[in-house]
Structure 1
């Protein structure tokens, strides 16, 4: 089934299995700064739908952009030129579904931001579980400078990350912020020297891949669903997720490997 991911003739994506369990997905429109097209939206929905439907396809995914200039510049405004209102709305609904597909990824999704992440590109990065960025990367939500507003989660994800007052300044001005600011504000977890961000993200994906996959998925669910609740409810979400791990083979393997002083071999069962 993994071959279906890597052998599909994607037009706007490169999909590579770097090792069993680790997938590298590259937004592949470098001639347009990896801008989001209707085709890209549909392909991301298809790809991440496959990952959601078959939990054996990957244990960790890295998302990046082709080249060293841009992660993603947002929606392709040349494609949008001349669109009537109905066509514009249809395309935007595709992009809404694309963002939901990223958010629904059942395994850890790491953004490797290799360059500019503007508008929908920044929203895509924020739909990932966490992000690393190249030192020279730039970030912005520029929608208000084009007569629209963030519509891929920007007004919800950015305030939850950097606080509403700072997010309002970023969104209302449309001004870019730097990689150093992104790190200080918590938009990214790590800054990487030029040319190393993808490999550093893949190294983290490999570390995740070595851990118990059901444990990772349950922990991700607990964090995501608990974040929108009060602490008491969140603790209950955590316990419900935890008890799903008790009858697994991996739980028994983890204890056995510790006592036998060996590396555990987790099978996702």
Structure 2
């Protein structure tokens, strides 16, 4: 496995995927993306696993795109979509055949929050920061965010996060009625593992079959959403103001 992503069997039938790229605060570096791809392939192909928990380290869940990658997109050298034949990291929880629990014990930013929301279950931390910060830098959202934020958070809150790029603590989202459990940070992973252990009591074939049905709509709509996001990026991402904002505001 990768040095920054590990997989272990945390309980009978439960895979625990841990992102711990401490040097880069779990941004989507090549190492993290490659490690996540390997981890989800392992979970998907290993018949022992009937559920998975995805988590980060310390106060970080996933911080989204690196500044270098975003500058490459701004300059027209890349897009947020992976090369053909390589999985899009943000959709790995959605594509995983078994149910995935996002234990977002730490901050989840931009594409990192989108990836967490693509899981089947989401658990947030009261102290942590959650933001769709794309518009903070002047470009429209990517990583499937325009689909998954309204789908999982509801249109009102989902649109507010996307349009305003506001930063919310988990406690604020709980007060806004977010439809996910929100716990103190130290309770997030234990709660997720307890949920996953309950899932893993069921037969894998039954879990896979039911998940396929429950996420069918999201899986079918995601390619169109990505196309529309890429089209918006052609309009918004290449503005000179975007480069200036990425250089001055990234990491604040």
Shorter-chain TM-score: which interval?
0.7 to 0.9
Q: What is the rounded CA distance, in whole Å, between the counterparts of 2:217 and 2:62 in structure 1?
A: 30
Q: What is the rounded CA distance, in whole Å, between the counterparts of 2:183 and 2:156 in structure 1?
A: 28
The structure-2 alpha-carbon separation of the partners of 1:190 and 1:32, relative to structure 1 and needing over 3 Å to count, comes to: same
1:23 paired with 2:12, answer: no
Q: What is the rounded CA distance, in whole Å, between the counterparts of 2:178 and 2:41 in structure 1?
A: 26
Deviation of 1:88 after TM superposition, in Å, equals 3.2
Deviation of 1:55 after TM superposition, in Å, equals 4.8
Higher RCO (C-alpha 8 Å, min separation 6): 2
1:63 paired with 2:54, answer: yes
Q: What is the rounded CA distance, in whole Å, between the counterparts of 1:161 and 1:189 in structure 2?
A: 9
**Residue 126 of structure 1 contacts residue 187 of structure 1 at CA under 8 Å; is this kept in 2?**
no
Deviation of 1:185 after TM superposition, in Å, equals 5.7
Deviations 1:131-181 (A, max 9, x none): 112221221100112233221111100111233343222111111123134
Structure 1: runs of 5 or more not aligned? 1-7, 230-269
Q: What is the rounded CA distance, in whole Å, between the counterparts of 2:130 and 2:74 in structure 1?
A: 29
- The RMSD of aligned alpha carbons is 2.7
- Count of equivalent residues: 218
Q: 2:64 is matched with which residue: 46, 58, 74?
A: 74
Q: 1:162 is matched with which residue: 135, 153, 169?
A: 153
Q: 1:100 is matched with which residue: 91, 94, 99?
A: 91
Deviations 1:91-134 (A, max 9, x none): 64269711233211111100111121110111011111111122
Q: What is the rounded CA distance, in whole Å, between the counterparts of 2:41 and 2:149 in structure 1?
A: 25
**Residue 100 of structure 2 contacts residue 121 of structure 2 at CA under 8 Å; is this kept in 1?**
yes
Residue of structure 2 equivalent to 1:40: 32
Structure 2: runs of 5 or more not aligned? 221-252
- For normalisation by structure 2, the TM-score amounts to 0.76
Larger Rg: 1
1:210 paired with 2:198, answer: no
